[in-house]
Structure 1
């Protein structure tokens, strides 16, 4: 009987094919239904090739349903990875003494391979982090030889229940031992204010996410130690500052994405940073812990616009959530980046940020009334649109616009703006005009929505336009 063609493939080729069978998840779970384990069950040839392919076994996810009888399989799995750098995720939730005992048994196995860690994701039961760091030092650190983690590039850690402060000091020693560290993600579910003395030794960081209670000045101090940052998120700038602000301005030449969740005044931060590569900025005022509602403060329009003017950054995406700014402040904030801005999302629960004046600034000229039959009773275009100039609208590159709970406009003004940037006839008069591809609005006028839906149904708007229009 002739063998199937796949059985005559060289082992190297078959091994490469096996790599494409691995799950698309970041980490590989232990399962007989998925690669790599399922590959060892097909035939003896496949089993030999799979076992002899270390790259198939270099990723492992251990989840909360772990049992002690799985330990031998984990030992075998890690042995098959040979000397390959490892990507490991330990997702073990706090379940009492029994769960901590299982976690400790697992840590005994993983610490043996610590010098091969490339990416480590930790969510461990309480009191287990201290055991992990203690065993790392005991095995790898001596008076003459410091701890070395030469392959470690990414660390993700979740702490809770008042243990964050203690983990900070222990994590410091681990990060000092990782010269190739590029990404650090640390979330504290208890929102503790942790000791962030680990970052001065991590000047090579490119990605940083800290989701724990910090002050604005602490955030600036952290940024000052990370000159290579490209993406940064501060998830809880909640604490009031007691320390003075930095003595000198801060330049981050490669930071392209910045996300801030805060209930504090950000004027100091905007005053001190210069971000010439910034392309994505998201700012959200979050509920404060005591009151349980969004904390509104005066939007620092002068400092914010000053930071953008000073940076001369090519900002493409701007998201502003619950910032409480009025229309004048929003216009001033958008002016420095009006030519580069492509995506704008505003959600406001305070004063209206978008009124007739800003909507008219966003409306393309010449007026659509010159290119459409304005005598139709369903025409959404107000009588002010009579200009025949060819000037492009404010923020001419916008292709995604989302406005939620922030509109207070006269009937027809919103529809005129959207139609001027999406109507096929009107766009022909502006050779360089960028049509809107996605419009999402809530809280506007129902008559405007009906007019836009009718034009879309009649085929008058660009065919790929996506609209999500709600009156509430």
Structure 2
């Protein structure tokens, strides 16, 4: 192209650019006008709901979704913000401290006068130690609303002075604290007349710089305590009205029994001891009302439990035993302890199968009517070895006759509650008459009213032992009967 033709072409392009820019401007103006008009006439169905319905939807979301955050509701639109702020139930469950002092104060201000369930975790230097801190002052203003308070910190804790007229449950947990510790003192009790449940987890050693926390120990009925054995014992001396106790006590130097008066807890009905609980702690208590016991099974525990039952003259109705690595002989001697003949509910966790312990236990329950004569509920959890199906069926048939009958039986393999993975295609050998007969017996027991629950996560068992195929066949038959 010549020079003149090129200049002419450039002029045409410039005219087209101007034309299209004008058209683009007109389209943008029309878009803005249309969008404004849309906002004036558009109706979103969710915004047409009555505020009361929207409020109930918010409440259901907050109470069913553990990760819900009501602050998100205030960011959607003005209507949702207004509804959320005017619904105190949305804000009454604080699972963690909102970021910033401003949010924490505003959050609690939206709760009205509703009971509060607060779960506050502090990391780094704890601010709840100082009475002039923002968190301390804010909790003090809302102390009359607190129903449940859970404080977790890596430092020492000072509670607001109260009063706490609604407080029913208090949890104080220290992750790590080496220089300051918690001292319980009931000479000036916390003003919390309804406080019944206390969870106290504190592992620091006492020091001269310890902090006093005044708790009404005498009115407590439920206690979960983690501390060394000596501190646990000092606390139990004050909490004489306990009904339920969970204890996780480290080994500690306990006082001489000859110079110590035994602690009698006349109302304590259940006690649960963790893995690391010092067994000797039970040697210092007398529990005449004890009915429920959860412990680890070993010879040391057996002797101490025997002495506890003899000293307390109590009868155990519910027994939960962690029986890992305990053979048949240990089980048998333990379950025959005086006071255990009244057991109605028995749970064995992680039984060992190296000496056919569980099979032999089934046989004793089947053939000896005076062994656990009142047993009504029997659960084996975390079993990881073969269990002959006929041994289970024979035991169940024997214990569904007579005056006291077994009402519930659970056999949970591998600790799983329910795991169907890998069961596809599993089939029972219908030609095996023994398997079919035993399944018929289980069906008949279910029809008679016995609740049977057999579950497993193992997938490759064969033969006449209980395997996934037998479990699946039993479930299918039960479903068809229902």
TM-score (norm 2): 0.62
- Is residue 434 of structure 1 aligned with residue 406 of structure 2? yes
Higher relative contact order (CA 8 A, sep 6+): 1
| TM-aligned CA distance change 1:88 to 1:267, over 3 Å | closer
1:88 aligns with 2:101: no
Return the match for 1:302 from 299, 306, 317: 306
**CA separation of 1:339 and 1:121: change in aligned 2, threshold 3 A:** same
Change (3 A) 1:78 1:456: farther
Q: What does the per-residue CA deviation read over 1:14-48, in whole Å, with 9 as the maximum and x for residues that have no partner? A: 544532221336xx76xxxx453344455544433
Residue 92 of structure 1 deviates from its aligned partner by 2.5
Matching of residues 351-430 of structure 1 within 5 Å: 354=357, 358-363=361-366, 394-395=372-373, 396-402=375-381, 417-422=391-396
Sort the Cα spacing of 1:225 and 1:241 in 2 relative to 1 into closer, same or farther, 3 A: same
Q: 1:301 Cα deviation (Å)?
A: 5.4
Q: Helix, strand or coil: the match of 2:252?
A: coil
Tell whether the 8 Å contact from 1:221 to 1:246 is kept in structure 2 after alignment. no
Partner secondary structure for residue 392 of structure 2: helix
Alignment match, 1:168:
183
Cα distance in 1 for partners of 2:46, 2:176 equals: 57
Equivalent residue, structure 2, for 1:283: 295
- Of the three residues 148, 163, 185, the one matched with 2:163 is 148
Does residue 74 in structure 1 map to residue 104 in structure 2?
A: yes
CA pair 75-173 structure 1, distance change in 2 beyond 3 A: farther
Q: Relative to structure 1, is the Cα distance of residues 241 and 316 closer, same or farther in structure 2, using a 3 angstrom cutoff?
A: same
For residues 350 and 238 of structure 1, the distance between their equivalents in structure 2, rounded to whole angstroms, comes to 30
**Inter-CA distance 435–273: structure 2 relative to 1 (3 Å threshold):** closer
1:316 maps to which residue? 318
Instruction: Tell me, yes or no, if structure 1 residue 186 matches structure 2 residue 190.
Output: no
> Does the C-alpha gap of structure 1 residues 403 and 110 become closer, same or farther in structure 2, counting only changes over 3 Å?
closer
Q: Return the index of the structure with the highest Cα Rg.
A: 2
Of 82, 85, 91, the residue aligned with 1:48 is: 82
Counterpart Cα distance in 1 of 2:153 and 2:281: 37
Stretch moving more, 71-80 or 249-258: 249-258
State the distance in 2 between where 1:192 and 1:456 align: 62
1:123 Cα offset (Å): 1.6
Kindly provide the CA deviation profile for residues 143-166 of structure 1, in whole angstroms up to 9, marking residues without a partner as x. xxxx53333222211214444853
1:164 & 1:416 partners in 2: Cα distance?
Answer: 60
Q: For 2:200, what is the secondary structure of its paired residue? A: strand
What is the TM-score of this pair, normalised by structure 1?
0.63
Q: Secondary structure at the match of 2:220?
A: coil
- Computed over aligned residues only, the root mean square deviation of the Cα atoms, in angstroms, reads 4.9
Q: Is the 8 A contact 2:286 2:308 kept in 1?
A: no
Q: Give the Cα separation in 2 of the matches to 1:271 and 1:4.
A: 65
1:284 CA drift (Å):
2.9
Give secondary structure in 2 for the equivalent of 1:438.
strand
Measure how far apart 1:228 and its partner are.
3.6
The SS at the match of 1:274 is coil
Residue matched to 2:31 = none
Secondary structure at the counterpart of residue 253 of structure 2: coil
Q: What are structure 2's unaligned runs of at least 5 residues?
A: 1-40, 415-428, 444-451, 462-482
Displacement of 1:235 in angstroms is 0.6
Inter-CA distance 16–159: structure 2 relative to 1 (3 Å threshold): same
- Pick one of 42, 64, 76 that aligns with 1:24: 64
Identify the residue that residue 454 of structure 2 maps to in structure 1.
466
Match for residue 344 of structure 2 among 341, 344, 360: 341
Q: Displacement of 1:55 after TM fit? A: 2.5
Partner Cα separation in structure 2 for residue 403 and residue 61 of structure 1: 32
1:114 matched residue in structure 2:
143
The answer to whether the 8 A contact 1:348-1:404 is kept is yes
Contact in 1 for aligned 2:92/2:115 (Cα 8 Å): yes
CA distance in 2, matches of 1:350, 1:196: 50
| 2:93 alignment partner, one of 45, 54, 59 | 59
Q: Label 1:274 to 1:123 Cα distance change in 2 as closer, same or farther (>3 A).
A: same
Q: How many aligned positions are there? A: 387
Distance 2:396 2:109 in 1: 59
Q: Distance in 2 between matches of 1:364 and 1:196?
A: 59
